[in-house]
Each structure stands twice: as C-alpha cells, then as structure tokens.
Amino acid sequence: MAVPVRPRLLAALAPTFLACLLLQVDAGAGIPEKAFNLTWISTDFKTILEWQPKPTNYTYTVQISDRSRNWKNKCIATTDTECDLTDEIVKDVNWTYEAKVLSVPWRNSTDGKDLLVFHGVEPPFTNAPKFLPYRDTKLGQPVIEQFEQGGTKLNVSVKDSLTLVRKGGAFLTLRQVFGKDLGYILTYRKGPSTGRKTNTTNTNTFMIDVEEGVSYCFFVQAVIFSRKNNQKSPESITVCTEQWKSILGETLIIVGAVVFLVTVFIIILSISLCKRRRRGAGQKRKDTPSPLA
C-alpha cells in the first residue's frame, strides 16, 4: 500500500532539492577562480584595470563605484583580463575610485541583472587598490614645441599634452587639469660636453642664460609638484640648437673631404706603382739576350 505524500511536505523539500541540483551543476562547471594581481595602468588619465588569470568555464565582470557609492557594471561577462575604465574615472579626477573584479559562471553571464546573485550569494570577487586619478595617473612623454638660441639666451617652449578628461565636449590639456601644480624641468648641456644643468618652471616656457656661439642639447620632463610618487614624466626626445647642428655638419664635411682626398691619393699611388711595375717588366725583356744570337 502506497504511503501518501502530503503537498506541504513536497513544498518544504523542493528548495533543498533545487539547491542540491544547482550544486551538482556547479561542480560539473567548476568553481570560478578569484582574480588576482589587480593593477591600474594609467597615463594622462587613459586608465585600464588589469588582472589575472585567464578564465576557464567562467567570465569576469568589473564593478566600479561612483560618487554616490553605487556600483556600476563594466566589461560584463568578459573573458579578457583587462577593462578600460577611462570613461568612468574622467568624470571626476579628484574622486577616489573603488573597483572589484567578479568571477561569474557562464550561465549567470548572459546579462547584467543576475551578476550579483550566485545561488543567493555574491560571486567570488577581488578588490582593486583604490585609485585617485589626479594622484595616480602617470604623465606621458612631453614634446618640445619650439626653441631658439639667440646670443646669450636659450628660449624653449613645451607643448601641453592632451588628456582624455573632457569639459564641454572638448579634451583638456594637462595644464587645464593640473594648473600651477604642473611644471617642467629642462635638462641641458653644451653640445660636446657631458656635464648637465637643470632649470624648472611652472609655466610652459624657459629662458636660460647660455654662452654665446656655443651649441646646446637638452630635453624636458613634466612634473606634478604636489606628488610624492609618479612625480615626473619620461624624458622628451633630446634636441640640439642650430649651432650644434652646424658644427656637426661642418665636422662631417671636413671628415668627408679628408676621406675623399685619402681615397684619391691611394688610387693615384696604386696607378703609379702599376705603371712602374710594367716599365720594369718591359726593361727586363729588352735586356734579356735572344737564344738565337
């Protein structure tokens, strides 16, 4: 005789049965691995979050906090190990952003609505270091816009790099973002010398005293005075004044002329030696008696 099963008992056991079934599915799919080595890569406010490892049977979703302390989903269900967060951090470069990388199973990665739910529990995640764009973005390589050496003065102008920070639809320069907190360092030397001198300004121009008629080579670096880390940019391309270029050109012309003259002398000497050898050989044939004589 069959034992009747009460509907209330079935209803009570249903959640337990469903949970066991979901656990078995997860066991077959594998448990997502938490991300590690979360690193911010940022230059002139172009900002990417990188991490490891490459996912297998799961995906990643990045979340970043805004000024309202709300979490916004970015790079949803990606198998990449990086996420470009520039469009978020340029909204306010003086705000300290928090971000985290969630490891989400394949079946929960079809849209952004269920990314926060993993059988009622938040998916495994790893927090990134806090990121303050104004303090943490690195400075790109600056460009020397123009320079002129006249008499005892050397004038150098530096071009402000464009950033990805927008205002009114236009991209702002480093100067527009940092103001007087941005400066430049000029490192210069006499053309043939190895001794260096430096000059610092919080504007975009230098006017330094130099020796008249002497050539100079120099490069610049951008600097944020308020920083303790990431304070300086890479060095710009080294350029030299026209005097140095002229001296170098004259030197090359002189060296070329000397090489040409030496080459001509060697050719003439070789031809002369060959003629002497031929004359000597002909004279020997004349002096040798004929066997019929």
- Which comes out higher in pLDDT, residue 287 or 240? 240
CATH superfamily of 30-136: Immunoglobulins (2.60.40.10)
Residue 54 has a CB neighbour count (10 Å cut-off) of 9
Residue 164 pLDDT > 80, yes or no? yes
How big is the chain by its Cα radius of gyration, in Å? 37
Q: Identify the band that residue 281 occupies on the pLDDT scale cut at 50, 70 and 90.
A: low
In CATH terms, are 30-136 and 143-246 the same topology?
A: yes
Q: Report the share of the chain in percent with pLDDT over 90.
A: 57
Question: Mean pLDDT over all residues of the chain?
Answer: 82
Residue 51 has pLDDT above 60, yes or no: yes
pLDDT at 13 over 70: no
**pLDDT tens readout for residues 18-47:** 344 444 444 445 578 999 999 999 999 999
Local confidence band at 193 (pLDDT 50, 70, 90 cut-offs): confident
Q: How confident is the model at residue 282 (pLDDT cuts 50, 70, 90)?
A: low
Tell me what pLDDT residue 273 has: 77
0.75 exceeded by pTM: no
Residues 6+ away with beta carbon under 8 Å from 82? 48, 49, 50, 51
Whether the upstream peptide bond of residue 105 has omega within 30° of 0, thus cis, is: no
Give the mean model confidence (pLDDT) for residues 204-230.
Answer: 94
CA distances from 137 to 82, 178, 236 (A): 17, 12, 18
Mean pLDDT of 145-169: 93
The answer for residues whose C-beta is within 8 angstroms of residue 173's C-beta and 6 or more apart is 160, 161, 162, 163
Three-class secondary structure of residue 71 per DSSP: strand
8-12, 29-33, 179-183, 283-287: the lowest-pLDDT one: 8-12
**pLDDT more than 70, % of the chain:** 75
List the domain boundaries for the chain.
30-136, 143-246
Which of 121, 124, 132, 133 shows the shortest CA–CA distance to 61?
A: 124
Q: Which two tokens stand for residue 20?
A: 């066991």
Query: Is the pLDDT assigned to residue 146 strictly greater than 70?
Result: yes
Sign (positive/negative) of CA torsion 248, 250, 253, 255?
negative
Q: d(Cα 56, Cα 53) in Å, to the nearest integer?
A: 9
Highest mean pLDDT, choosing among 23-32, 71-80, 263-272: 71-80
Residue 253 has pLDDT above 80, yes or no: no
Homologous superfamily (CATH) for 143-246: Immunoglobulins (2.60.40.10)
pLDDT of 250 strictly over 60:
no
Over range 282-287, report the average pLDDT.
Answer: 59
Q: How far apart are the first and last CA of the chain?
A: 151
